[in-house]
Amino acid sequence: MPEEKKQTDATPQLTRRNFLAWGGGALSILAIVEIAGASLLFLAPRSLEGEFGGVVTAGSVDNFPQGTVTEFPDGRFFLVRTEDGGFLALYRRCTHLGCAVSWEPTRNRFFCPCHASNFDFFGNVENPPAPRALDIFPVEINDGQVLVDTSRPQTRDAFAPEQLVYG
């Protein structure tokens, strides 16, 4: 008489259903871990020192000749040094709709490529549609270094001498 093969419950079998259930569970756990990790990275405080949103050390006062404009692309500003040695940090964001302005040294002006506004050396509007002067960032001179705080843009209607900072 042939021996009948019987399956007992004591020996677990990997069925297709079991495999799919375990695999699906493992993938779900992996997805949750990845999402949690990405969320923590996103929420973790990070220093913005030296880049836009933080305090940028522009360099020594002596690096900026009087009557010049120096662009800081990473900080999104232009550092203007006036003929009498004052400093002004102009936010490069156009006050019309926010395009980035560029400095045109041959024309001594800032120009917005989007709708052709332009601004003078101090950021005053020379040609609309921009409604007001370029915003400025606070400047501080510390130990002969020019520091620009790009976390606090300040709006203004026009340039005023009190906006200049001297070393």
Interacting residues toward ligand FES by CB under 6 A: 94, 96-99, 112, 114-115, 117, 129-130
Using the minimum distance from each CB to ligand FES, give the nearer residue, 86 or 129.
129
CB of 89 to ligand FES, least distance (A): 19
Round to whole Å and give the CA distance between 97 and 149: 22
CB of 150 to ligand FES, least distance (A): 20
CB of 112 to ligand FES, least distance (A): 3
119 touches 158 (CB < 8 A)? no
CB of 94 to ligand FES, least distance (A): 3
Using the minimum distance from each CB to ligand FES, give the nearer residue, 101 or 147.
101
Angle at 32 between CA 31 and CA 37, to 5 degrees: 100
Classify residue 73 by burial, with Cβ atoms within 10 Å: 0-12, 13-18, 19+: exposed
CB of 154 to ligand FES, least distance (A): 19
Using the minimum distance from each CB to ligand FES, give the nearer residue, 87 or 122.
122
CA 66 distance to own-chain centroid:
28
Using the minimum distance from each CB to ligand FES, give the nearer residue, 56 or 130.
130
Residue 95 dihedral angles phi and psi, to the nearest 5°: -80, 0
Using the minimum distance from each CB to ligand FES, give the nearer residue, 61 or 132.
132
CA 113 distance to own-chain centroid:
21
Round to whole Å and give the CA distance between 72 and 63: 13
